[in-house]
Amino acid sequence: MTADASSRERAARALAAVSQGASLSSVLPAALEGLTAQDRGFTHELIYGGLRQYQRLEAILAGLLRQPLKPRDRDIHCLLLLGLYQLSALEVKPYAAVHATVEAARALGKAWAAKLINGVLRNYQRRASELEAQLQGDPSARYSHPAWLLARLQQDWPHDWEAIVEANNRQPPLSLRVNARHGDRAGYLERLAAAGIQAAPLAHTSHGIRLEQTATIDRLPGYAEGDFSVQDGAAQLAAPLLGLAPGQRVLDACAAPGGKTAHLLETEPALQELVAVELESDRLQRVRDNLDRLRLQARLVQGDVGRPQDWWDGAPFDRILLDAPCSATGVIRRHPDIKLHRRPADIDRLTRLQAGLLDAVWPLLRPGGRLLYVTCSVLRAENALQVDAFVQRCATARPAPIAADWGRADGAGRQLLPIVNGVDAAPMDGFYYACLEKAMDEAA
Ligand SMILES: C[S@@+](CC[C@H](N)C(=O)[O-])C[C@H]1O[C@@H](n2cnc3c(N)ncnc32)[C@H](O)[C@@H]1O
């Protein structure tokens, strides 16, 4: 089998698994394993591109297939989607794209599909403009988003929804956070420059760096020594908002994989204690691994933060970071499988879960203490509306408005949308931040 066919075969298997419910992060390592750097890049591009344009490609394919393929031939169905992706979005020579896609069917052990693939792809080449024009009347296909999510975005962001969905389908920037305990940003930028890697400071952050080119993370200077972490600029806004000081007891309520846990420890080395709670033990192990690489320490607890009676020692916290489980609709550009997996009912379930976690952790905060509520969602039900409802029902919660030149004020907090907003050429992920302070008088 040629390397070309292998990339397409692997991408088709991965796309088939994701379209049947597997998470992209669970299938990606095997799909890329053992490939040369060039083939890795191409396979990665096929998988991410196929997911970013999934609804669009499905609509085109539906217009080309006389009847749907059998469920057991999901791999061939996905190979066809990837063939259409190559012909419509990549600068691969059409003849080579068709040939290698047909070869990939043989590699999948389905030589019978060679004729079908050849016919469908050649038919697309002939009818491309007619088929693409038909998509204009189908918003889900045109924007490659599920219809229900488009409707919610239109409702929440009537002026920005189109920019949001277009940004969701683009490749995200690659950003780092320099480990403040090991050095400063200027010093690390010099090390990158010495290694021939183009990079620039990340706006709104003290230790953020944006790489101007693709890079293999574990080959960047100081990776093994823990001199930096990969983290989007939006996530780097959490630690400064907590107002950390020496001697504080801090709760990181939903910790894995530990990006913000590490940032808290890097920001304030003299905390009395940082307790990092995570529900899932395998994800807690990722927190442990990340802290080990960065040479940082915290008290790691596997538990349900919604049931403090199972793990809390009764000593109040000065600061609480609640980086709540959410729809992750602000990071679709990094996790395009979200568009295939999320369902409308998930949003209701998640908003109930978030409300329950807010209610559960609030009593753990000392009077005068601060809680930072965070999501990587762009849906107002999980963000401004969630926090406003909490402030309404909780007599001791006071919003502490965030004075910042990023994002936009919404409810008690600020919303970042992953779009170019005139200030930043390179938009950050879609996050929501709200600071709440606890009244000194518990009876207030
Ligand atoms: C948005 S992620 C946190 C990201 C993390 N703060 C970071 O910056 O790397 C939410 C995490 O909360 C965890 N989680 C969900 N429900 C939880 C619960 N009831 N108690 C503790 N952790 C929970 C999830 O497993 C997930 O790892």
pLDDT value of residue 213: 87
Q: How confident is the model at residue 442 (pLDDT cuts 50, 70, 90)?
A: low
pLDDT value of residue 425: 57
Radius of gyration of the chain (CA): 24
Count of other CB atoms within 10 angstroms of residue 203: 15
Has residue 44 got a pLDDT over 80? yes
Q: What DSSP string describes 81-138? A: HHHHHHHHHS-S-HHHHHHHHHHHHHHTT-TTHHHHHHHHHHHHHHHHHHHHHHHTT-
> Comparing 3-144 with 174-230, is the CATH topology the same?
no
Q: Is 277 in the pocket of ligand 1 (CB under 6 A)?
A: yes
Which atom of ligand 1 is the closest one to the Cα of 328?
A: 1
pLDDT value of residue 3: 58
Q: How confident is the model at residue 201 (pLDDT cuts 50, 70, 90)?
A: very high
Q: How confident is the model at residue 420 (pLDDT cuts 50, 70, 90)?
A: confident
- pLDDT, tens digit, for every residue of 324-353? 999 999 999 999 999 999 999 999 999 999
Cα–Cα distance between 347 and 149 in angstroms, integer? 10
Has residue 4 got a pLDDT over 90? no
Assess whether 376 carries a catalytic annotation. Answer: yes
pLDDT value of residue 441: 72
> What is the CATH code of the structural domain delimited by 3-144?
1.10.940.10
pLDDT value of residue 421: 65
Q: What's the average model confidence in pLDDT over 395-414?
A: 96
Q: Which residues are annotated as a binding site?
A: 254-260, 278, 304, 323
Domain assignments of the chain as residue spans, ordered by start: 3-144, 174-230, 234-438
CATH 3.40.50.150 fits 234-438, yes or no: yes
Q: Which pTM value belongs to this model?
A: 0.96
| Amino acid symbol at 314 | G
- pLDDT, tens digit, for every residue of 362-395? 999 999 999 999 999 999 999 999 999 999 999 9
Q: What's the average model confidence in pLDDT over 87-114?
A: 96
Q: Is 278 in the pocket of ligand 1 (CB under 6 A)?
A: yes
Has residue 306 got a pLDDT over 60? yes
Average per-residue pLDDT in the chain?
Answer: 95
> What is the CATH code of the structural domain delimited by 174-230?
3.30.70.1170
Q: Which of 254, 294, 359, 431 has the most ligand 1 atoms within 8 A of CB, as the residue to mutate?
A: 254
pLDDT value of residue 422: 52
Q: How confident is the model at residue 86 (pLDDT cuts 50, 70, 90)?
A: very high
Distance from the alpha carbon of residue 396 to the mean position of ligand 1, in angstroms: 25
Q: What's the average model confidence in pLDDT over 427-439?
A: 97
- Torsion angle of alpha carbons 135, 136, 139, 142, nearest 10°? 60
- pLDDT, tens digit, for every residue of 140-175? 999 999 999 999 999 999 999 999 999 999 999 999
Has residue 307 got a pLDDT over 70? yes
CB contact set of 149 (below 8 Å; sequence gap of 6+): 329, 339, 342
Q: Is 257 in the pocket of ligand 1 (CB under 6 A)?
A: yes
pLDDT value of residue 29: 96
